[in-house]
Every structure is written in C-alpha cells, then in structure tokens.
Amino acid sequence: MGEPQPIHHQLLVAFSHSNRAMLSRSRAAGLKPGQPKVLEYVVFHEGCSQRDIARACVMDKSTVTSVVTRMEEEGLLERRARPGDRREVEIRLTRPGRDAAEKVLRYRDEVDDIAWGNLTHEERTELSALLARVIHHFEDAEEKGR
C-alpha cells in the first residue's frame, strides 16, 4: 500500500469537492455560501443561539452574524428573545426556512452518496470514526493554542 499521503492535503481536496458539490446544488436553490450549513444545523437545533451555530459550523462569530442577518432578511430565519431571558436570542426557522432546510438535507444526502461511493458499511463506519478522531485532534490543538 505504501506510505500514507499527507492528511492535510487529502482533507483539503475532499473538502473542496464536497463543498463544490453542495454549493452547486444549493446555489441552484437560491442559497448563498454559509446558508446551507446554518440551515442544516438549525433544523436539528431549533432555538439555538448564534454562538451554538458558530461552534457547530466552525464559523467565525462575525460571519455567523452576517449570514444569520441575511437569512433573516430573506425570510429563512427569525430571531426571538429566549423565554425567561430576554437578553438571549434564539434562532428559529420560518416556513420558507424549513422548506430550504429540507432541500439542503436532500443535497447533503446526494453529496454523501457521492463521497461514500462503493464503500461498505464497515468501511463507512471506520472512516467516520477515524475522521471524528482527526477532528478531535484539531479541536484539542486549538484549545491548547497550537
């Protein structure tokens, strides 16, 4: 099998292909960059905060603010004061936002099908577990300032 290829490069190439596939699909639905992953997160975490979105989607807080603001202006999301703590704002999908999120989930499944290709269930499970470990390594290094 030989030596493994540099993982950094492999991750970049895989991300580029995946991102391009998602962007082409979501652009056709009128979504802008950043919006699909926010919709995908919010559909499963209704009432989340912008901080939650930033953390889960690995986005800068200022980027999340601008993406959420644009999505609110486009009628996909709404911000509401959190019951019991009016200083906290929660993010909720509107009906058009829910429809857009359903499209994003279909696109996600299409892109995942391309990525998984003919990998067996066992290979998929192993790759998923290995990538989770790689992600953990990066998160751990970021926490330690490396």
Q: Between the CA of residue 118 and those of 16, 113, 123, 124, 129, what are the distances in Å?
A: 20, 9, 10, 10, 18
Summarize pLDDT for 21-37 with one digit per residue, the tens.
999 999 999 999 999 99
Q: Cα–Cα–Cα angle for 41, 44, 46, nearest 5°?
A: 90
Q: Compute the mean pLDDT over every residue in the chain, rounded to the nearest whole number.
A: 94
Residue 117 or 4, more confident: 117
pLDDT category at 1 given cuts 50, 70, 90 is low
Residue 131 has pLDDT above 70, yes or no: yes
pLDDT at 27: 95
Q: Round to the nearest angstrom and report the end-to-end CA distance of the chain.
A: 31
Q: What is the pLDDT of residues 38-70, one digit of tens each?
A: 999 999 999 999 999 999 999 999 999 999 999
Give the C-alpha distances (Å, rounded to integers) separating 68 from 1, 84, 89.
Answer: 46, 23, 12
What pLDDT is recorded for position 90? 95
- The Cα 73–Cα 61 span in angstroms is 18
pTM over 0.85: yes
The percentage of residues in the chain with a pLDDT greater than 70, rounded to a whole number, is: 99
